[in-house]
Amino acid sequence: MSFYQEALQANARYAEGFRHGDLPTPPSRKAAVLTCMDARLMPDQFLGFGIGEVHVIRNAGALATDDAIRSLVISTNLLGTREILVIAHTGCGMLTFRDEEVQKQLQQQYGADASRFSLHAFHDLHESVRKQVQRVRECPFIAKDIPVYGLIYHVETGRLEEVTQA
């Protein structure tokens, strides 16, 4: 059975007991988390929140890309978010390659110019978190009184580490 078929069956079971259809759109904890798409990260579990409580924005590397910032602008300005956490993690795949190498591989594999296709790989996890926090803080459309925190989730232990000077 494919994952798709399993997912549909799981959803049918989930929907039978679903009781959250009346939750409001704004996150009740007034928080947003920007984190990595890595399947080992379950922010609701390691941060202790439930359905309807926190906005979660995920992408490869927990990067404050234009699209992630767009979501944070909506979250803070239209939905009441008053805190932002940027959470990267140890063992991130974004630490394992260079953009140029993958661009070359993509061009060879697909025959299309990949030179402008940026993957935003990085080689220093702490520095990347500091950079992402700074990008969020510098956004002119996110209020300056909204705190932005930088953290690293350790996949080996499940613990969070605060990133200093973030």
pLDDT tens-digit map of 22-67: 999 999 999 999 999 999 999 999 999 999 999 999 999 999 999 9
pLDDT of residue 35: 98
- pTM, full prediction: 0.95
pLDDT of residue 165: 83
144 part of a folded domain: yes
Which CATH number does the domain housing residue 75 bear? 3.40.1050.10
16 part of a folded domain: no
**For residue 53, how many other CB atoms are within 10 A of its CB?**
16
Show the low-confidence residues of the chain (pLDDT under 50).
Answer: none
Query: E-strand spans in 18-82?
Result: 31-36, 54-59
104 part of a folded domain: yes
Structural domain harbouring 86: 27-162
51 part of a folded domain: yes
31 part of a folded domain: yes
Maximum Cα interatomic distance, the chain, rounded to a whole number of Å: 50
Q: Encoding tokens for residue 112?
A: 């299309």
Tell me how many domains the chain contains.
1
78 part of a folded domain: yes
